[in-house]
Amino acid sequence: MQIYLPIAELSMNIFVLFAMGGGVGFLSGMFGVGGGFLMTPLLIFAGVPPAIAVATEANQITAASVSGAVAYWRRAGIDFKMGFVLIGGGIIGTYFGAMIFTYLKSIGQVDLMISLSYVVFLGSIGGLMFVESVRSILRARSGQVVKVTRRQRTWIDALPFKMRFRKSKMYISVIMPIAIGALVGVLAAIMGVGGGFIMVPAMIYLLHMPTNVVIGTSLFQITFVTASATYLHSINTQTVDVVLAVILLLAAVIGAQVGVIVGAKLKGEQLRILLAGMVLIVCAKMAFDLVVEPEELFTISAVEVEGH
Amino acid sequence: MNKFKQLMVLSFAGYIILSSLPARAETLVTDLSQHVIEITSQFSGSELLLFGAIERHATESIQSDEISVQGLDYDIIVVVQSDPTDLVIRKKEHIAGIWINKENQTLKNVPGYYVIGSTRPLDEFLSKEVQVEWGLGLNNLTITNENGDEIVEFKQALIRNMINKGLYQEASGNVIVKDEILFRASLAFPSNMPVGNYKADVYLVRDGNIIINHRTDLLVDKRGIERFIYNFAHEYPPYYGMMAIFVAISIGLFTGFVAKKIT
């Protein structure tokens, strides 16, 4: 059965969309990741224009993260003060991200930027995850125990504008959280990802936040940042396809429930190495499409109307 | 094909009316099976029938058995196109190991949809000059950039791309003439067809000259929820953005609630 997507202006098989949404939902449930960084490339591979894939994914992630954020809120797993600082940075980030996106779309380079950002981010994150999980598997085999070191004072502690975060039991400069929030905001706007894969490690290793509030606070921030990206893309480029977002969302919810059950049966290292493998495959496909001479060198698009 | 039978009856009725008039020159009656194509949520392309009748010149003077002998006197060309628009075409170049959009041209007044069909290949009954004069056939379309220059490479690329998308079609033998009076052509519209006003032109050709042409209008429009969403997104972007966020948050909260109940 075909369904016509009103903003993408193309007709797609609804079962294919359900399979894609469900599949990515399954993986995100299994690995505990957002899935935006898999969904956006998959939509692009399926023929959705990259700009529409990115903006629509931002909209879908808003829905996916809000239910997670509420669940963590019930368990008191959100540092709201830190969350708002991160959102402040995030909104600045999405503003600039959407501006870059709109400009590049008008000169016909937005698809290239999306592909390049995916290759760079998926390549480095996937590579790091892969090396890290191989190492920990090797360590587990040789029976070594990782020594937990006390955190060192770094240049981050020397930054001005300090603020107290009671929930996280921290007294740190707001510059770093704002910068991290802004980076994630830019990524949300130009890549259609929640940015959890940057945010969570940054909160743990750069801000040294207690792990019990990291996931909840990151979901809380992602909800607002992707909402901001959705809004800005709607205003600037009219690329948010609500119909597509809702279909993917419903499928992803179901897939995620199954994924959680399967994920619970696998070991952490195995999961991470699987995820790293998936990320690297998507990255390789993106890179391949950039490097290999396309069959058709010419592309046609509508004239961008000034002032939109 | 009940619909088709109906159409044939209709066009035959048209022919009867026409042939009862004192005719001095050929007259052409054409119509479309639909004047509006509606794009709805299940839209996956459409098929349209263009049909009509030719009223022959000097009917009274020709005896009935001569009509069939004169058979191939007439040829018919059918052109359906959307109102012209401006399109940007970009060419990828190999830069630093990757393929990047480099040169681009804005092509002015290009149809977003152009389908031409005829009884026989155009070259068999119409001289090149006449084809160019009337802009018949994909290669005879006027496709120029802002400065009015025609760049062959970009023109060819546009036509090739549009053919691949099913938006440009060129065929012959697909206009079927019945009893030298009635004709019909089946037209295929892909799901990615642009919305807007279209025109369907029928040309009647005799002895290498276009003797009559007749135009019928066609409207392609989104309907129902599709139209509403598209117009909402383009006419009220801030409210659309808020709506998108609201829908996402509601569904997110609702599914979270349901998932919690189930597990």
Strand duo B84-95 + B98-111: pairing: antiparallel
Q: Tell which A residues from 251 to 290 touch B, by Cβ distance under 8 Å.
A: 253, 257, 290
Look up residue A157 and give its DSSP letter: G
How is residue A236 written in tokens?
Answer: 């600037």
pTM, entire model: 0.80
In 3D, which of A236, A298, A307, A104 has the Cα closest to residue B107? A298
| DSSP run (H or E) holding B183 | strand B182-189
Question: Position of tokens 């980076």?
Answer: A183
Q: What local confidence, expressed as pLDDT, does residue B67 receive?
A: 44
Question: Position of tokens 């000097």?
Answer: B58
* Range with the largest mean pLDDT of B77-86, B144-153, B171-180: B77-86
How many CB atoms are closer than 10 A to CB A150? 4
Question: Position of tokens 């007709």?
Answer: A11
Task: Determine the Cα angle at A186 with ends A181 and A192, to 5°.
Answer: 110
Look up residue A151 and give its DSSP letter: P
What are A25-34's pLDDT values in tens digits? 888 888 777 7
- Nearest neighbour of A298 by CB, restricted to B91, B191, B222: B91
What are A75-93's pLDDT values in tens digits? 888 889 899 999 999 999 9
What are B190-224's pLDDT values in tens digits? 888 888 899 999 999 888 888 888 898 989 888 77
Looking at the predicted structure, is the pLDDT value of residue A150 above 60? Answer: no
Looking at the predicted structure, is the pLDDT value of residue A162 above 90? Answer: no
Q: Tell which A residues from 94 to 123 touch B, by Cβ distance under 8 Å.
A: 108-109, 111-112
Report, as an integer, the average pLDDT of A104-128: 89
Q: What interface predicted TM-score (ipTM) does this complex get?
A: 0.85
Please give the Cα distance from A238 to A250 (Å, whole number): 22
| DSSP run (H or E) holding B88 | strand B84-95
Q: What local confidence, expressed as pLDDT, does residue B180 receive?
A: 77
Q: Does A59 touch chain B (CB under 8 A)?
A: yes
Q: Which of the four pLDDT bands, split at 50, 70 and 90, describes residue B18? A: low
Q: Tell which B residues from 42 to 101 touch A, by Cβ distance under 8 Å.
A: 42-45, 85-94, 97-101
Looking at the predicted structure, is the pLDDT value of residue A157 above 80? Answer: no
> Using a CB-CB distance cutoff of 8 angstroms, which residues of chain A are in contact with residue B249?
62-63, 66, 223, 227
> A260 vs chain B: nearest CA distance in angstroms?
11
Question: Position of tokens 């957002």?
Answer: A34
Q: Which of the four pLDDT bands, split at 50, 70 and 90, describes residue A48? A: very high
Q: What integer best gives the mean pLDDT of chain B? A: 82
What percentage of chain B reaches a pLDDT higher than 70? 84
Q: Which of the four pLDDT bands, split at 50, 70 and 90, describes residue B10? A: low
Q: What local confidence, expressed as pLDDT, does residue A200 receive?
A: 84
* Higher pLDDT, residue B117 or A165: B117
